[in-house]
Amino acid sequence: MDDSSDGRITVNIAKRKLGGVGFLTNKRSICPYLAVSHVVKGGVAHETGLIQAGDVILEVNGKSLENVPYHKALEILDKVPTGEVMMIKYALKDSMRIWKQPSTTKVL
């Protein structure tokens, strides 16, 4: 894990066949669009204890998601093969202005 002073953290987690990386996402109305809406109990994200609801996904395996439409960001996450360790960079929920809004939720 890389912890920087600007609230951005990089973590390596493996995608599982069942449950993926273990969090649900929702679409934010501003860039970056992909936010964690829920961490699945017993999933990879839950087990690491690092990713929390409200965190904003900024990058996956070196691909920036900061200006990528929501559906494209989901495609990038979905294309990571099962079993592969992926590097996810995210911003802590407290380091960005995030609010709850009606959204589309997807299990990853």
Query: Would you state the pLDDT for residue 23?
Result: 94
Q: Under the phi-then-psi rule, with left for phi > 0, alpha for psi from -120 to 50, and beta for the rest, what region is 19?
A: left
Query: Would you state the pLDDT for residue 98?
Result: 40
Query: Would you state the pLDDT for residue 101?
Result: 40
The ranges of the chain with pLDDT < 50 are 97-103
The sign one gets for the Cα dihedral 102, 106, 107, 108 is: negative
Nearest CA among 94, 84, 99 for reference residue 28? 99
**Over the stretch 78-104, which tens digit does the pLDDT of each residue have?**
999 999 999 999 998 765 544 334 445
96: Cα separation from own chain's centroid? 14
Indicate whether this model's pTM tops 0.75.
yes
